[in-house]
Amino acid sequence: MKDELITLKSISKSFGDKLILDDLNLTIHENEFVTLLGPSGCGKSTTLRIIGGFESPDKGSVIFEGRDITNLPPNKRQLNMVFQNYALFTHMSVAENIAFGLRIGKKPKDYIEDKIRYALKLVNLEGYERRSPSTLSGGQQQRIAIARAIVNEPKVLLLDEPLGALDLKLRQDMQYELIRLKNELGITFIYVTHDQQEALTMSDKIVVMNQGYIQQEGTPEQIYNEPENAFVADFIGDSNLFPAVMIHDRLVAIDGNHFDCVDEGFGVNTPVDIVIRPEDVEIVPPARGTVTGVVTDVIFKGVHYEMCIDVQGREWVCQSTVAHAVNEEVGIRVDPFNIQVMKKPESEDEEAAGINE
């Protein structure tokens, strides 16, 4: 395991009566691309702003390289932020924007000029030194904002929904740019987004948040394939999220139909939630299916067809490269490895708190 860089210890924060973060603990390692992912209002931006020093937590502490920086103002922290909507200085040229932090740090003139050239090269905007930020496109402004932050050689780059204002194509291009930058710079990125696709594409580690609690931490594969609770399963990707009963180890009943699975340790006859990804639902001839159902809806999605299948009044979503006609009777089977069993929360609080409990 790499060295711990930032540790958030028991962070709580409220705005007025509204509790934004409740006893949040999080460790971020060196040279990691960490994404804080969640719906708006889940506390992800607040977490980032606490790390950046723009908000101070009501309780808890922020540890950076073993030092408590909870009360350190932002201008004294060795991290830099790329803001939502870029926050470029419109009264300065591109070069002056990039030089801002270096001039504050009283770096020599030659050094500053080298750095500007280097940073512009890094973000593929060579020759833009004298332009005014307001004459640049959204994507270019974004690159300048990144250049302005990285010339200060921060240990950590904080990015607050940096691609939110860009259109889809540009957003996808910038995702690859960011991965390349991260690899070239070899520093830690902490990235905030509500876009699960972005998170899955770029991250080494994803932290899924909801209502001020961390729901799950893990690699993109873990988050996608093994969601630990219904919220994560529902938030990441399309999924069939059903209530079920764990009959005993390795056997689960959905609406009374028994399915083999690989999960153990949930007890006997315990209510659980299960997740089956649409691409994991196999359509087979009725005789070979674990259950049978009727196709109610077919949509062509490009790579595959998406179909809704009514199984005893419950709708299953499945994806297949073969289309089946509406009203056709089909069989359904699921590989035991593809059924993800999750513990049912006992109360709403526990549901929000997720795995922190």
Partner 1 sequence: MSKTSKHTAMLGLPYYAWAIVFIIVPLFMVVYYGLTDKTGAFTLDNVMAIAHPAHAKALWTSLVLSLESTAVCLLLAYPLCLVLARSGKSSNSFLVLFLIVPMWMNFLLRTYAWQSILEKTGIINTALAALHLPPQHLINTKGGIILGMVYDFLPFMILPIYNALAKIDRNVIHAAHDLGADDLQTFLRVILPLSMPGVISGITMVFIPGMTTFVISALLGGGKILLIGNVIEQEFTLAYDWNMGSGLSLVLLVFIVINIVIQMLTDKDGEGVL
The contact set with partner 1 (CB under 8 A) reads 52-54, 73-76, 80-81, 83-85, 87-91, 100-101, 104-105, 148-149, 152
- Gyration radius from the chain CA atoms: 24
CB of 61 or CB of 85, closer to partner 1: 85
CB of 176 to partner 1, least distance (A): 25
Nearest to 240 by CA among 230, 255, 248: 230
DSSP 339: P
Nearest to 356 by CA among 135, 125, 26, 32: 26
CB of 14 to partner 1, least distance (A): 18
Phi, psi (rounded to 5 degrees) for 150: -80, -20
Three-class DSSP category at 117: helix
CB of 49 to partner 1, least distance (A): 8
CB of 49 or CB of 171, closer to partner 1: 49
Distance CA(99)–CA(105), nearest Å, equals: 10
CB of 107 or CB of 314, closer to partner 1: 107
Kindly report the number of other CB atoms within 10 A of residue 226's CB atom: 16
C-alpha distance from residue 310 to each of 230, 279, 326 (Å): 21, 17, 11
Decide: 145 and 162 in contact? Cβ < 8 Å.
yes
CB of 259 to partner 1, least distance (A): 50
Nearest to 62 by CA among 40, 83, 79, 37: 79
CB of 162 or CB of 227, closer to partner 1: 162
CB of 48 or CB of 330, closer to partner 1: 48
CB of 101 to partner 1, least distance (A): 3
CB of 103 or CB of 248, closer to partner 1: 103
CB of 84 or CB of 356, closer to partner 1: 84
CB of 11 to partner 1, least distance (A): 19
CB of 83 to partner 1, least distance (A): 4
Kindly report the number of other CB atoms within 10 A of residue 50's CB atom: 22
H/E element, 244: strand 240-248
Counting every residue written for the chain, the total comes to 357
